[in-house]
């Protein structure tokens, strides 16, 4: 263990002890820590400055400045350098751990919806030092590797059910603010556990973007899927039918109800909503078909031809769920489970408001999806 002998001027000690200014304590702490560094350097070199010793292992080569942030302010330390080898500093061992914890705390703050500007203000109050927005962004980039590994992980389990949806965020691009999509796929395993299987950043919910995401799922191990639940986006449906041949598609009943009610007079909507609910809750497909006919008659009598045609054309898609046992139907007849996830993403995204680039979208929302998955 290094033995230390501190040298402090008597007047300086009196000044420090009698002063109420934290700056004097900062000066004392800085002087002590610099002497600790010199003592550790002498021990590792095997000799003091200019000392001839058979135990000498290397030569000193000046020093470098390092700033250490403490509760009394930022201390300026002169860290010795060696001509060959590295100066290992016991003093900084615990500091390195706390610094890393501090960095992770910053990242965690951003993940949980605190903007980088607010993070900068918070660190100024807590630490007495300003950390720039660019520094916070650089620290957050450390999330890229685990998020990439999460997105590319092999999928070696069977997922009989997939739930698919997208949400839109605002991104700054070439001096403009544009709307971009985040495509998300949830999987339900045979054990009943929900997992985030895939997500991707896209210009829009186009056929090409969904097809690329679905092909990526197949390349990572997804083969046979029994049922896919989503809304009626044309590009999405076309892509999933081409990529997952023979898989049943369940059109989200919640989205369908909104579409149908939008085509009927306002006064008729409560009645139509109640009849649709009865149809969805039918014990069998045959019972649902009978209730559909009753609903078609009401829509025809009310002059709602558009709503009538929509129900007639979409009936097979909104009732695919009846091919499954009854215990699965309520959870899988809508995409509500992914809508709740989107709400959590939106809560965090609302603080950011406008993402600076595509990478930040994947980084922040991807970190939340990874956290949700775990």
Residue 71 lies in a domain: yes
Number of domains in the chain: 3
- At 188, give phi and psi (nearest 5°): -115, 120
- Greater confidence (295 vs 109) lies with 295
Residues 364/352, Cβ–Cβ less than 8 Å: yes
104, 127, 146 - which closes a domain:
146
Residue 261 lies in a domain: yes
- Largest pairwise CA distance in the chain: 108
Whether residues 57 and 115 fall in one domain: no
| Radius of gyration (C-alpha) of the chain in whole angstroms | 32
- Read off the pTM: 0.68
- The DSSP secondary-structure symbol of 157 reads S
Whether residues 71 and 109 fall in one domain: no
Residue 119 lies in a domain: yes
Whether residues 30 and 64 fall in one domain: yes
Whether residues 259 and 326 fall in one domain: yes
Residues 107/140, Cβ–Cβ less than 8 Å: yes
Residue 184 lies in a domain: no
What pLDDT band is residue 355 in, cutting at 50, 70 and 90? Answer: confident
pLDDT confidence of residue 351: 73
Q: Report which of 125, 103, 123, 106 is spatially closest to residue 114, judged by C-alpha positions.
A: 106
Whether residues 80 and 36 fall in one domain: yes
Whether residues 104 and 84 fall in one domain: no
Range of the domain at 272: 253-334
C-alpha span between 344 and 348 (Å, rounded):
7
Whether residues 84 and 133 fall in one domain: no
Residue 214 lies in a domain: no
Whether residues 27 and 44 fall in one domain: yes
The residue-averaged pLDDT of 52-61 equals 81
User: What are the E-state strand segments in the chain?
Assistant: 60-70, 73-82, 161-173, 176-188, 194-202, 227-230, 248-251, 354-355
What pLDDT band is residue 222 in, cutting at 50, 70 and 90? Answer: very high
**How far is residue 205 CA from its own chain's centroid?**
20
Whether residues 323 and 264 fall in one domain: yes
Q: Left if phi > 0, otherwise alpha if psi is -120 to 50, otherwise beta: which for 136?
A: alpha
The residue-averaged pLDDT of 335-352 equals 86
Residue 282 lies in a domain: yes
- At 207, give phi and psi (nearest 5°): -60, -40
Residue 216 lies in a domain: no
C-alpha span between 222 and 284 (Å, rounded):
30
Residue 112 lies in a domain: yes
Whether residues 73 and 106 fall in one domain: no
Whether residues 51 and 22 fall in one domain: yes
The residue-averaged pLDDT of 137-145 equals 74
């Amino acid at each position: 263990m290094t033995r230390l002998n501190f040298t402090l001027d008597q007047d300086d000690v009196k000044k420090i002890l009698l002063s109420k200014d934290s700056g004097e304590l900062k000066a004392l702490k800085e002087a002590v820590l610099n002497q600790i560094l010199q003592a550790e350097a002498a021990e590792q070199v095997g000799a003091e400055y200019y000392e001839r010793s058979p135990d000498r292992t290397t030569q000193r080569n000046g020093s470098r400045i390092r700033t250490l942030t403490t509760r009394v302010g930022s201390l300026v330390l002169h860290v010795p350098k060696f001509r060959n080898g590295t100066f290992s500093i016991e003093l900084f061992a615990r500091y390195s751990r706390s610094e890393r914890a501090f960095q992770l705390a910053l990242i965690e703050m951003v993940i949980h919806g605190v903007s980088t500007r607010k993070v900068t203000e918070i660190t100024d109050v807590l630490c007495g030092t300003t950390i720039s927005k660019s520094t916070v962004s650089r620290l957050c980039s450390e999330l890229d590797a685990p998020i990439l590994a999460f997105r590319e992980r092999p999928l070696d389990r069977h997922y009989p059910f997939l739930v698919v949806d997208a949400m839109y965020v605002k991104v700054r691009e070439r001096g403009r603010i544009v709307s971009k999509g985040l495509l998300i796929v949830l999987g339900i395993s045979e054990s009943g556990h929900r997992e985030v299987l895939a997500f991707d950043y896209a210009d829009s919910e186009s056929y090409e973007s969904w097809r690329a995401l679905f092909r990526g799922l197949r390349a990572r191990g997804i083969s046979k899927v029994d049922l896919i639940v989503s809304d009626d986006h044309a590009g999405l449906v076309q892509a999933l039918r081409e990529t997952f041949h023979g898989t049943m598609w369940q059109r989200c009943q919640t989205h369908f109800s909104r579409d149908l009610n939008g085509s009927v007079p306002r006064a008729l909507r409560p009645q139509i909503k109640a009849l649709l609910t009865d149809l969805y809750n039918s014990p069998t497909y045959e019972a649902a078909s009978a209730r559909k006919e009753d609903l078609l008659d009401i829509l025809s009598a009310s002059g709602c031809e558009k709503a009538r045609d929509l129900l007639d054309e979409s009936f097979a898609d909104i009732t695919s769920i009846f091919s499954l046992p009854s215990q699965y139907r309520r959870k899988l007849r809508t995409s509500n489970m992914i809508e709740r996830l989107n709400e959590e993403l939106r809560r965090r995204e609302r603080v950011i408001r406008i993402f600076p680039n595509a990478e930040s979208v994947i980084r922040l929302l991807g970190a939340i999806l990874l956290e949700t998955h775990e």
